[in-house]
Amino acid sequence: MILAAGRGERMRPLTDHTPKPLLEVHRKPLMQWPMEALAAGGFTEVVVNTAWLGDQIETRFGSRHGQSAIRYSHEGRDFGGALETAGGIVRALPALGDMFWVVAGDVFAPDFAFTQQSVDRFVAGGLLAHLWLVPNPAHNPNGDFGISSAALALADGVGDGDVKYTFSTIGLYRAALFSAPDCEIPPGNAAGQKAPLAPLLRAAMRQGRIGAELYEGRWTDVGTPQRLTALNEERPA
């Protein structure tokens, strides 16, 4: 699943007429980078949630892009706005498998490899989710989560050396995390209930049910026009 429903307030005025995931880095829409990386790993069925200017995303990519077959969850069309991350995932749950990747359509991580080996390890481990964390960027110096010596995500950031890292938005999930008793929203979220992801993750982390690892490749949360400009001024690898 590629998350593409956000308004992108900090990216204004660029996002006044263009949805943030369609802003270009090195002549490709931001969300095209993870879509192509997923396809390179053999994951070719993609669900995209939309809200702000979501019709532009469907017009740009249609039902197929390269190897990828695309389905849309149009939160804006169905409910008048975005359902936040957990609400959006639960809304799309009927179109997702028992296990699935999630990545935000506005992060740039061109070297991240979505691999079947990662999925196999996740399946064997029995946890509810596995998150990739990154070294803290300047705009999030305090980080989000810690990593234990057993490779578990720590909600309160107390890990080896008491270090907290930033959540990259890239993760593997089991549908069970978004079902009762962990999540109170009925599958499909027919009522359009809004719900953030962080509280759901933190609750499961405190039960030792979320894995994590550190990713140190190139990664940018393209949250401001300045970051977008800086990326486009870099020479492509």
Angstrom distance (rounded) from CA 139 to CA 166:
10
Q: pLDDT of 62-107, one tens digit each?
A: 999 988 999 999 999 999 999 999 999 999 999 998 999 999 999 9
φ/ψ of 219, rounded to 5, equals -160, 130
Among the listed residues 112, 47, 107, 63, the one whose alpha carbon sits nearest the alpha carbon of residue 228: 107
- Distances in Å between the alpha carbon of 77 and those of 73, 74, 83? 9, 5, 12
Q: pLDDT of 170-191, one tens digit each?
A: 999 999 999 888 899 998 999 9
Task: Say how many residues make up the chain.
Answer: 237
Residue type, 120: D
Q: pLDDT of 3-55, one tens digit each?
A: 999 887 887 888 889 999 999 999 999 999 999 999 999 999 999 999 989 89
Angstrom distance (rounded) from CA 49 to CA 90:
11
Residues 210/201, Cβ–Cβ less than 8 Å: yes
Q: pLDDT of 129-176, one tens digit each?
A: 999 999 999 989 989 999 998 999 999 755 554 689 999 999 999 999
Residues 93/155, Cβ–Cβ less than 8 Å: no
Residues 76/52, Cβ–Cβ less than 8 Å: yes
CA quadruple 141, 136, 173, 65: dihedral positive or negative? positive
Angstrom distance (rounded) from CA 207 to CA 155:
10
Beta bridge partners of residue 73, listed in sequence order: 49
Question: Is 117 strand, coil or helix?
Answer: helix
CA quadruple 46, 25, 134, 121: dihedral positive or negative? positive
pLDDT of residue 158: 55
H or E stretch covering 87: helix 84-92
Q: pLDDT of 47-65, one tens digit each?
A: 999 998 989 999 999 999 9
Residues 88/169, Cβ–Cβ less than 8 Å: no
For tokens 């499961």, the residue is 204
H or E stretch covering 102: strand 99-104
Q: pLDDT of 186-231, one tens digit each?
A: 989 999 999 999 999 999 999 999 999 999 999 999 989 999 999 8
Tokens of 95: 């179109």
